Amino acid sequence: MPDYNTQQKKLIMPEYGRNVQQMIDHCVSIEDREERTRCANTIINIMGNLFPHLRDVDDFKHKLWDHLAIMSDFKLDIDYPYEIIRKENLRTKPDRIPYTLTPIRYRHYGKTLERMIKKCEDYPDGPERDQLISLLANHMKKSFLTWNKEVVDDDKIFKDLREYSHGRIDLSPETFRLKESKEFLQKKNKNNMRKAGR
């Protein structure tokens, strides 16, 4: 009767396959330490041959020895050429990244845009600030269109910008022109077609 993989022991690192796992299991069972070490070196060469494209990666050999130790369930008693990973460090979780969960007023603009507007508020008057406001307002229009996929009235963008900046950035259609909605939509369609390979 055939021996199905589903009936066999679960592989610790399936990417190396069952044959390599069986070689390692055999290596662990070798009583002579010198012979065991020779066997381990041969297995490392075989493991390396399975992934030749990774040979130029830094610490590739070190990773292989770590994998050998892991696959032997840390039972392979040899002199490793590298300091291998410790069993207790194998399952350690990285420290949690602190996220600031502050509410976003308009999700389609995002939190980063809110921060950029805040920075812009403190900019001294002049052409640099005007250029930054122009970039921000046009970016807001582009973001709005990405979510709503309709033509957006510039007044809406100016109103939102005024609200975000607490009235410190006050634009009007008479003094300020944003890019046309169709410019953003055409560019988006071109990018979609390029991605689709047309």
96-132 per-position pLDDT tens digit:
888 777 777 778 888 888 888 888 888 888 889 888 8
pLDDT at site 198 = 56
Angle between helices 181-196 and 127-148 (to 10 degrees): 60
pLDDT at site 187 = 63
With respect to residue 81, please indicate whether it lies within any of the assigned structural domains.
yes
Instruction: Note whether 192 and 116 are same-domain residues.
Output: yes
Instruction: Look up the pTM and report it.
Output: 0.48
Instruction: Note whether 75 and 16 are same-domain residues.
Output: yes
Range of the domain at 14: 8-89
With respect to residue 106, please indicate whether it lies within any of the assigned structural domains.
no
Which of 40, 56, 89 lies at the terminal end of a domain, its last residue? Answer: 89
Residue 81 CA to residue 46 CA, distance in Å, equals: 17
pLDDT at site 46 = 94
Instruction: Note whether 120 and 52 are same-domain residues.
Output: no
Q: Which residues contact 66 (CB under 8 A, 6 or more apart)?
A: 82, 84, 85
Residues 48, 44, 27, CA angle at the centre, nearest 5°?
A: 145
With respect to residue 177, please indicate whether it lies within any of the assigned structural domains.
yes
Residue 70 CA to residue 67 CA, distance in Å, equals: 5
139's tokens: 């970016």
pLDDT single digits (tens) 23-79: 999 999 999 999 999 999 999 999 999 988 887 777 899 999 999 999 999 999 999
pLDDT at site 68 = 95
CB of 55 within 8 A of CB of 48? yes
pLDDT single digits (tens) 168-198: 888 887 778 888 877 766 665 555 556 555 5
With respect to residue 102, please indicate whether it lies within any of the assigned structural domains.
no
